[in-house]
Copies of this chain bind each other. A is one copy, B any other.
Amino acid sequence: MTAPLPSGIDVVEVGPRDGLQNESTLLPTATKVEFIERAIAAGARRIEAVSFVHPRLVPQMADAEDVMAAVPQRDDVSYSGLVLNRRGFDRAQATGLSEINVVVVATDEFSKRNQGVTTEEGLRAWEDIAARAHAAGIRPVATIAVAFGCPFEGPVSSDHVVELARRVADAGPYELALADTIGAGVPTQVGELVSRIREETGARMRCHFHNTRNTGYANAFAAATTGVSTLDASIGGIGGCPFAPNATGNIATEDLEHLLSGMGVRTGLDLEALSRTGTWIGEQLGEEAPALLGKAGPFPQR
């Protein structure tokens, strides 16, 4: 199951999208842009900046076009936006984004509640959007949500996720991501799913972990030792979990950087700048961010 650790891992900063999306405090556009600028200053080079969903469903993301018009345009920084349907794709394309992230949900019940379609319909939407993205020169990432457990349907079988991943992969994702949307997964599950899907599809694998039940970093470690090339994280660990009101959010970028750099895995990120930004975004949201590095301080270079 395990492979040697890679020399480097891509970390996608999802704080501006998944982090803010689950926070009840609405931030001004300028604060979101500053968050993104601070992330770049801390070394982030791939940023999931916005979500193109209906403003009524996710008010925090209503200014997606305004955010994308204001963020720094740099050759070494790429932005991505979340897309659930054709309308979202059209909006993303209109902003000139070079990458999109399309969510296919592993269970019908979560899929219907989250995006109003069955898993099968979500899969067809992905196929349609992926084809349009390829034609338009946009990189389409596919994320399989609740791949490690569903708040409505409970455990999700590995066989089901592997089969879904095989069908998702047929449409040619730039990366195939597995999301532990509710922080239910454990490292052995990560190892098994990632290994099987890599073997089955040959796709470039990415993982998205929430630390809802304190397994997020163990899962990230398991992913890194199983050949995952990209991990999502949010500065400050902001985000929460929509199905567990008091729970913590995404794994924190600064804590992930401590884990990875301590094991000699390069990310290009600056731990101190990340920690300062984690503290700063907590202040903007009016609550202490869940990340621990900002509280404990860094441990001296090994």
**Which A residues contact B (CB, under 8 angstroms)?**
2, 5, 149, 154-155, 182-189, 211-215, 217-218, 220-222, 241, 244, 246-248, 251-252, 255, 258-259, 262-264, 291-293, 295-297, 299-302
Docked pose: A222 CA to B188 CA in angstroms: 11
Could you say which residues of chain B place their CB within 8 Å of the CB of A264?
188
Q: Is the interface of A mostly helix, strand, loop or mixed?
A: loop
CB neighbours of A296 from chain B (8 A): 183, 212-213, 241, 244, 246-248
A149: chain B residues within 8 A (beta carbon): 299-300, 302
> Given A221-B221, A300-B154, are A258 and B187 also a contact pair (CB < 8 Å)?
no
Q: Which residues of B contact A187 (CB under 8 A)?
A: 221, 259, 263
The residue among A222, A241, A302 with the most chain B CB atoms within 10 A of its own CB is A302
Provide the residues of chain B in CB contact with A293, threshold 8 Å. 213-214
Contact B299 A248 (CB under 8 A): no
A154: which B residues are within 8 A, CB to CB? Answer: 300
Copies of this chain present: 2
Within the complex, the shortest CB–CB distance from A181 to chain B, in Å, comes to 12
State how many angstroms separate the Cβ of A289 from the closest Cβ of chain B: 12
Output the nearest chain B residue to A261 by Cβ-Cβ distance: B186
Q: Are A262 and B189 in contact (CB under 8 A)?
A: yes
The interface residues of chain B lying within 8 Å CB-to-CB of A300 are 149, 154-155
- For residue A252, which residues in chain B have a CB less than 8 angstroms away from its CB? 214
Decide: A155 near B302, CB < 8 A? Known: A183-B296, A187-B263.
yes
Pairwise interchain contact A213-B5, C-beta atoms closer than 8 A:
no
CA–CA, A174 to B295, complex, Å? 36
Residues of B within 8 A of A222 (CB): 221
Which residues does chain B contribute within 8 Å of A297, judged by CB atoms? 244
Closest to A302 in B: B155
